[in-house]
Chain A
Amino acid sequence: MADTVIKALMLDKIQMDGKSLIIVQHNDGSPFLHSLLTQSARQGRKICLVSFNHSVGYYHNVGTRLGWNLNNLLSKNQAVFIGGLQTLKDSSRLQNCSNPFDFLFNPSTCPIQTLLLSIQEVISNWVEQPFSLVIDELDCLLSLGVQPNRIVKFFQHCHSLVQTNSKGSLIISMGVTPSDKEVIQCSQLLAHWCDLVITEKGLQTGKSKDLTGSLTVNWNIHPFTEQLFHFKCYDRGIKMFAPGTAVL
């Protein structure tokens, strides 16, 4: 599954070091995020995974299907998971000022600063080592009350952290709803700032048993290409093909 996606994105030929990538999800682009996580794990890159609405068990279970073990990487300090669900569940941590998700309970003039400092602290331990900073569903911050300008500023700080380390890569996913103007505004602006923009959408004509949706791959740097693919999701893989070609 991951190999097919990586080849379609040309990431087998183009190194992601120092680059940023955004997945704009109109439907469900999580298979592509997991493909990128799988590639990072296989390449031996350190992974800093930030999630707002999934537990570490979810990523471990999906990763197991794709051939890599997140818990194993966590135990070896090859990966760090910063998750918000546990924070919401464990109320005793509300008073902890170093909690990355303190913005949920303590509104301040600079929300998500603690989250940014937590990420910075993790990345500072990986100097001169290749790493991937993966932020899943960044649009959740809007639902949690963070203003769009703060989210954009957070992205810029993460982006500069990655670019400072020439071997880092930034992978962000954002879910987009057509009626949500703030999300669309954020995603459009971040799409201008990312080297690779992957837009996942459902089929315009409705649902099909042969296709799950369409994927647009847009490179803002060399090779400056824009490609359209159709894809079909399975339990353990994704098949990708050019539009119009039948699925055998």
Chain B
Amino acid sequence: MILKDILTQPPVSILIQDSCSLKGRPLFLSLIRHYSENGYSIRYFKYDSPLSSETTEMEQLKISWKKSIVDGNQDVMSVKNSWTSEARNDQVLVAIDSLSPLLLNWTVGAIASALRNLQKTTTVSVIALVHGDVHDKHTLQALNYIFPCHLAVRRAQGRNLCSGTWRKASGKITDSDEYYSITEKWELKDVKEFIETQPAVMPDSLPKSAVPKSTFKLDLNAREEQARSQVVLPYIKKHNESTSEPSRGKIIYEVEAPDWDDEDPDDDLEI
């Protein structure tokens, strides 16, 4: 299961995709908290406009963050340089919350090349959040190529569900769907595999009769059904009488009695 593997292995670059129906930020923060407690230095770049409760949340996590409003007149490389200027240590994790404002100002190709450049020139890992309902599929697919691990969160059966795909360095691709929950202390818990169950077709749910509901009595009681089953239709009766043996296609010729005429047929001739 991907979520459990993420928590037990060294950090990799992760993209968390969320929507308005389920926010990915709690999972994002829980992963950051986990890596922070394991000795990694977190460089948190906040490009989203924060909710009123986020200041308190960041204080609880004891993570310093750098808030900035993306300026479209700025070059994307300056944004990338701001990430790398903080990432001089191998034990650094760059957290980007989120990529959506960056994608509004620059093309997905420019963002992708900046991220690729960051991953190639340094050994840092990047955890980024992106709002899937803001961007089109092409943009999201392009981001998936950059991040080896992609987590998409959504609601399923009243619980938080994470659909993950992980392209490991060996080339193996694993994917899994897992339920998860986040505690008040930003701990990831209750990670269980999600098994999709087909809704069972209950025989009682099938209609017993095709007769439409009406105020008129259209259906039959048991006695009437029995009487109807005993009725023999006229054409079926005649057909059964006429075909006592199975027909095999033979020709029946009944010899008629000879009809000899005693008169001379040439009698009327005056020969």
Interface residues of A (CB under 8 A from B): 18-20, 109-110, 147-150, 152-153, 155-157, 159-160, 163, 185, 188-189, 191-195, 197, 218, 220-222
B129 to chain A, nearest CB (A): 10
Partner of A188, one of B20, B23, B72, B105: B20
Q: At the interface, yes or no: B69 with Cβ under 8 Å from chain A?
A: yes
- Given the complex of chains A and B, what is the CA–CA distance between A56 and B69 in angstroms? 32
Name B residues whose Cβ lies closer than 8 Å to a Cβ of A: 20, 23, 48-53, 69-73, 100-101, 104-105, 131, 133-135
The answer to whether B20 touches A157 (Cβ under 8 A) is no
Count of CB-CB pairs between chains A and B under 8 Å: 64
Given contacts A110-B73, A149-B105, A157-B69, contact A195 B134 (CB under 8 A): no
User: Judging by beta carbons under 8 Å apart, are B72 and A20 in contact?
Assistant: no
Tell whether, in the assembled complex, residue B104 and residue A218 are in contact, meaning their CB atoms are under 8 Å apart: no
Is the pair B104, A149 in contact by a Cβ cutoff of 8 Å?
Answer: yes
Closest-by-CB residue of B relative to A19 is B52
B contacts with A: majority SS: loop
For the complex, what is the distance from the CA of A64 to the CA of B72, rounded to whole Å?
42
Please measure, in the bound complex, the distance between the C-alpha atom of A148 and the C-alpha atom of B51, giving whole angstroms.
21
How far does the Cβ of A64 sit from chain B's closest Cβ, in whole Å? 32
Pick from B49, B53, B70, B104: contact of A193, CB under 8 Å: B49
* A87 vs chain B, min Cβ distance (A): 25
In the complex, are the beta carbons of B51 and A152 less than 8 A apart? no
With beta carbons under 8 angstroms apart, the residue of A147, A163, A189 that contacts B100 is A189
User: 28 A–B contact pairs at CB < 8 A?
Assistant: A18-B52, A19-B52, A110-B73, A147-B72, A148-B104, A149-B70, A149-B72, A150-B72, A153-B71, A153-B72, A156-B49, A159-B49, A188-B131, A188-B133, A188-B134, A189-B104, A189-B134, A192-B20, A192-B48, A192-B100, A193-B48, A193-B50, A193-B51, A195-B53, A197-B20, A220-B23, A220-B51, A221-B53
Distance of A218 Cα from B50 Cα, bound (Å): 17
